[in-house]
Amino acid sequence: MSPAGKDWFNETLYPDVAQRFTVDRVIFRERTAHQDLVIFENKVLGRILALDGVIQTAEGDEFIYHEMLTHVPILAHGRAKRVLIVGGGDGGMAREAMKHPGVERVTMVEIDRGVVDLCATHIPSIGAAAFKNPKLDLVIADGAAFVKRCQDRFDVIIIDSTDPHGPGAVLFTREFYHDCKNCLTPGGILVTQNGVPFLQPDELRNTAERLTTLFADTAFYVGAVPSYYGGFMAFGWGCDSAAPRRTGVEEIAKRFAASGIDTRYYTPALHVGSFALPRFIEKLMAG
């Protein structure tokens, strides 16, 4: 309890800097089979999910993260019918992917059933409706093991993982990215959650090195998510052709208009502009 009489949640992601949130009410707390999970309410950001002391998603700004990791690759691809999501237990990523009329099937692989059930119950505004959508195939399994043995092929693969520690660490390895590539259709696109490069430079540097050995076209794009402290959040990109990434804003705008999707953050101009990176990120990519 602080001197002002408020309870605070102190995030533990970084050793030398931190952010904290007032806890107006604890909605739920439990140690699941894989991690410590807490859901609490905050006046500014609404209900917030944290796993092992790290903020995962917040009602107030989740749309930024979920829109950028779905609409950018799906609209860049232009003909995506099958989408694989690894992680994404809150349902927000599946929610956005299934808005695309051309997407016929979304397979979501989440390791922790507790995250799915608790988010659907206690933060239903994010993704509860997605779990009722007939387009969704929900698989409770280890994502790395799933892609290693998977015989299906996907046009877009979205890695919506935690940070590279605990259950999420394996989802940042070259072996995992290699297995994901084997699950892509020709011209398919892989995108990854890649943290905040100003505070997690090694995460981006390592991913760039690993993706470059596997894909002809490797890049990163960025978005600003307020609840992820430290500036721009980076999203990794891998494809065997540079053409999807270089699709112009006029064509992206046509595809976006045809989709009929209403967004709160994503725009076609932002889509194209998000690949323009600050110099320090370019240097991280170069190693």
Residue 156 DSSP one-character state: E
168-204 burial, b at 16+ Cβ within 10 Å, e below that, comes to: bebbbeeebbebbbebbbeebbbbbbbbbbbebeebb
Contact predicate 103/80, CB 8 Å: yes
Could you identify the residue written with the tokens 């995506």? 80
Choosing from 52, 90, 112, 160, which is the catalytic residue? Answer: 160
In 3-state terms the chain splits into helix, strand, coil percentages (rounded to 5) of 35, 30, 40
Show the tokens assigned to 163. Answer: 């940070």
Burial class (CB in 10 A: 0-12, 13-18, 19+), 205: middle
Instruction: Determine whether 262 is an active site residue.
Output: no
DSSP 255-271: HHHHHT---SS--HHHH
Strand partners, 107: 84, 137
Q: Which residues are catalytic?
A: 160
